Structure 1
Amino acid sequence: MKTKSYHMFIKIMAIFFSTYLGNFAFAEKPFGQTSVTALNGIPSSFISLGAYHPTFAMVVEKNFHRLSVFKLLPDGNYTLVRTYLAITGKEQGDKKQRGDNRTPEGIYFIVGQKDSSELLRQMGPGARKYGPRAFMLDYPNIFDKRQRKTGSGIWIHGVDSDARMLRPFDTEGCVALKNEDIIDIAQYVSAFQTPVVIVDEMQTISMAAIQKQRQNVIEMVEAWRKSWENSDFAKYISFYSDHFQSLGKNKEDWREFKAKLSETRKGSITVQISEPKILAFRNQLLVEFFQRYTSPERDDFGRKFLYLRQENQGFKIIAEKWYNSQKGKTDLTVLNDTKKRQD
């Protein structure tokens, strides 16, 4: 009986290692400038990466234990730059609550980083498990909060020993890379700009399908922009979900807020936006762009985030965020170039 059990154990382990180490070899291999057409399409999450800052994006595939870095090319195609071995949460499935040891799934941004010295100073000897560096993700995002997901502190980090990388599901919800890889990946990271899409398995679609989706979203955003600029609030509010919430305001509060601003200003406004970054995940769309708002009283410049969800009448805005920032020469050039394309 023991002999049969032993042979069965050996067979199971052989299957595991042949499957997992196959993924390990794939993840270790740099892909160079391989076109994603070799991967039967374009990552379906990357509808557009915009055109105004470093156009790198990342996909974490939990089922395949890998993190892939893509770069947007001038022709709208994508290049697979590099793929790394990655391990994720001890428990499989999407993160729902604090302490469930699951890695969240969705659209996230890298919003900061800490090196080993800073980690040790803040957390003590226990920080060694994060290796030489950690990148912070913005979990929970707006979509997560609307689904009442809890928890925080989801990072992409190194490890205390590369031997840990032989255990594919071994973190408390973070994404872990080998230490040499967590150092290497820094060259592709721009804080608050590099998106990281976390999925079980990456889906790809054709260039034609991506272009159609991109055009549909851009046309919708342009119609939203024009309705705001023209103070057409009946049209403007039609882009918003009945479940919209931002700045403590619901959909009707938001319409009244915008209408009152229009009534009190002394003249017309101009709203310029850059080519948007458009990211998709399941029934969610995240649209982000530079925006310049000018009126006789003010001149505001910054980044706008629109969070949209698929509803019966198409995608609707459930929330938006605005980050005021300094106008840079490059940013204003992009706005001017975008306005020429709109004209």
Structure 2
Amino acid sequence: MTPAAPRLIALALGLLGGTLGAPSATADSEPPATSRPPLHSEAETRLMTVIELARRGDYNRAIDDLSDLIDERPNFRLAQLVYGELMVARAGRSIDPLIGEDVAKRRDALLAEAESRWNHRSNAATDGRVPNAIVQLAPEHEHAIVADLEHNRVYLFANVDGVPRLVSDFYATIGSGGAGKEAEGDMRTPVGVYHVTRYLNDHQLPKLYGIGALPVNYPNALDRARGRTGHGIWLHGVPRTTYARSPQASEGCVVIANDDFERLRERVDVGSTPVIMTQGVDWVSPAEADTTRTEVRAAIEDWRHSWQAIDTSAYLAYYDADFVSDEGRDKAAFAAYKKKVNARKENISVDIDQLSIFRYPGEKEMVKVTFDQAYRSNNYSSEDRKTQYWQRSDDGRWRIVLENEAD
């Protein structure tokens, strides 16, 4: 008898275009090997392999392998659901008439988690491409994190000579209201470029947050300029009674399994590691990324040279008509201030170090740049950490729309 197709396996079949009962290989053959980063979640890899075995018709082996996984991680509810559906399917029955409405809702949430994990497995190859959100990483950033809110995925990248290299990725939960936070209490996860501000261990946290949390600096300067409110956006773990949560179940935080969180935390530098939260990752070739990097760096260098040359007119041309400074000055007030200051300058030297460039998600042709700035003149000197938001204008030029010394 051909086993009935449980909803979970039917879902996998639909994504792959297969047919249950007509496996693509013999039951004794191995599932196709997949290339995974070395830090990828072992539990997820094993679960996806089980679903692949079931798709190929090898129910007995799938159930045996899944039983081992459940013994090791009894709180992995999705694995338990798959196990139950496989047992019922092997018996040639359907589980649907056996469950009530409340159980069906919990099951649907787990199926949504399964779909997210399976979709990623089917479309995970990057073929050497890089996320266009990371244009350049300064040497101080050993790693960077990209949270793909649309596809419930957190990516960890290593910094290789300023270029991101994929190290690992993990399934994630986002806010129950979806992505794009605007206001306090909207249960949405923000879209933007942030950094980790501190680490909280499990002794400092309620059980909801699992083994730890990494708060980020939402709202940043751009969020505040856009009128966005709210606080307490963290990347954190899950209660020890569960392994993972459904795709949209947090109050706005990004949530991953505890073992994944621990792997991630080990590679985070508090106060430094960038966290980009975006609705979908646009994977581009290194050549495409280099084009943006070259354009933005050229604009920044011209801005710096104009400042050093005390060419105030050329310097101010790099500030957009809608520019706002961190002191709240608009373009006119900022221009008046700079003209007054520069009138007293005989020489200016501006050095830039630790330059990072991030394409800002959710904004049209905008990048966020951060760098250490050393300023020297005949009557003043300073060393500051600077953040600027550059946007490409309709005339094709990059201009600064927001600037501050702490973000």
- TM-score, reference length from structure 2: 0.68
Is 1:211 the counterpart of 2:211 in the alignment? Answer: no
Q: Is contact 1:86–1:168 with CA below 8 Å preserved after alignment? A: yes
* Corresponding residue number in structure 1 for 2:130: 42
Shift of 1:175: 0.7
Q: Is contact 1:97–1:151 with CA below 8 Å preserved after alignment? A: yes
SS for the counterpart of 2:399 is strand
RMSD of Structure 2 on Structure 1 (CA)? 3.1
Structure 1 segments (4+ residues) deviating >6 Å: 7-16, 25-28
User: Which of 246, 255, 260 is 1:167 aligned to?
Assistant: 246
Is 1:228 the counterpart of 2:228 in the alignment? Answer: no
* Corresponding residue number in structure 2 for 1:95: 181
SS for the counterpart of 2:322 is coil
Q: In 2, Cα distance between the equivalents of 1:106 and 1:264? A: 39
SS for the counterpart of 2:321 is coil
Is 1:303 the counterpart of 2:385 in the alignment? Answer: yes
Instruction: Answer 1 or 2: higher relative contact order, Cα 8 Å, separation at least 6.
Output: 1
User: Which of 100, 109, 115 is 2:201 aligned to?
Assistant: 115
Q: In 1, Cα distance between the equivalents of 2:147 and 2:343? A: 47
Going from structure 1 to structure 2, the CA distance change for 1:168 and 1:56 (only over 3 Å counts) comes to same
Which amino acid in 2 is paired with 1:58?
A: I
* Corresponding residue number in structure 1 for 2:114: 21
Q: In 1, Cα distance between the equivalents of 2:303 and 2:330? A: 18
SS for the counterpart of 2:324 is coil
Q: Is contact 1:66–1:83 with CA below 8 Å preserved after alignment? A: yes
Is 1:293 the counterpart of 2:386 in the alignment? Answer: no
Which amino acid in 1 is paired with 2:275?
A: V
Is 1:152 the counterpart of 2:231 in the alignment? Answer: yes
- In the TM superposition, 1:1-343 aligns within 5 A as 6=97, 20-21=113-114, 23-24=116-117, 38-39=126-127, 41-50=129-138, 52-74=139-161, 77-119=163-205, 127-161=206-240, 163=242, 165-246=244-325, 247-265=327-345, 267-274=346-353, 276-280=355-359, 281=361, 282-283=363-364, 284-313=366-395, 314-323=397-406
- Identity across the alignment (%): 26
Shift of 1:40: 5.6
Q: In 2, Cα distance between the equivalents of 1:259 and 1:231? A: 10
Q: Is contact 1:110–1:192 with CA below 8 Å preserved after alignment? A: yes
SS for the counterpart of 1:274 is strand
Q: In 1, Cα distance between the equivalents of 2:266 and 2:387? A: 25
Going from structure 1 to structure 2, the CA distance change for 1:285 and 1:48 (only over 3 Å counts) comes to same
Which amino acid in 1 is paired with 2:261?
A: I
Q: Is contact 1:58–1:69 with CA below 8 Å preserved after alignment? A: yes
State the structure with more CA Rg: 2
Q: In 1, Cα distance between the equivalents of 2:115 and 2:329? A: 51
Q: Is contact 1:162–1:179 with CA below 8 Å preserved after alignment? A: no
Going from structure 1 to structure 2, the CA distance change for 1:147 and 1:39 (only over 3 Å counts) comes to farther
Going from structure 1 to structure 2, the CA distance change for 1:180 and 1:288 (only over 3 Å counts) comes to same
Which amino acid in 2 is paired with 1:20?
A: E
Q: Is contact 2:134–2:164 with CA below 8 Å preserved after alignment? A: no
Query: Hey, which of these two has a bigger chunk of strand by percent?
Result: 1
More displaced 10-residue stretch of structure 1: 171-180 or 137-146: 137-146
Aligned length: 305
SS for the counterpart of 2:244 is helix
Q: In 2, Cα distance between the equivalents of 1:132 and 1:16? A: 23
Q: Which runs of 5+ in 2 are unaligned?
A: 1-93
Going from structure 1 to structure 2, the CA distance change for 1:240 and 1:7 (only over 3 Å counts) comes to farther
Shift of 1:94: 1.2
What does the per-residue CA deviation read over 1:63-102, in whole Å, with 9 as the maximum and x for residues that have no partner? 322211011213x543211212211111223111111111
Going from structure 1 to structure 2, the CA distance change for 1:77 and 1:309 (only over 3 Å counts) comes to closer
Q: In 2, Cα distance between the equivalents of 1:136 and 1:129? A: 15
Q: Is contact 1:114–1:135 with CA below 8 Å preserved after alignment? A: yes
Q: In 2, Cα distance between the equivalents of 1:186 and 1:305? A: 25
- TM-score, reference length from structure 1: 0.79
Q: Is contact 1:142–1:307 with CA below 8 Å preserved after alignment? A: no
Q: In 1, Cα distance between the equivalents of 2:402 and 2:163? A: 30
Q: Is contact 2:195–2:217 with CA below 8 Å preserved after alignment? A: yes
Q: Is contact 1:242–1:251 with CA below 8 Å preserved after alignment? A: yes
Q: In 1, Cα distance between the equivalents of 2:105 and 2:203? A: 42
Which amino acid in 2 is paired with 1:107?
A: V
Q: Which runs of 5+ in 1 are unaligned?
A: 29-35, 120-126, 324-343
Q: In 2, Cα distance between the equivalents of 1:271 and 1:145? A: 28
Shift of 1:268: 0.5
Q: In 2, Cα distance between the equivalents of 1:297 and 1:209? A: 43
Going from structure 1 to structure 2, the CA distance change for 1:40 and 1:201 (only over 3 Å counts) comes to farther
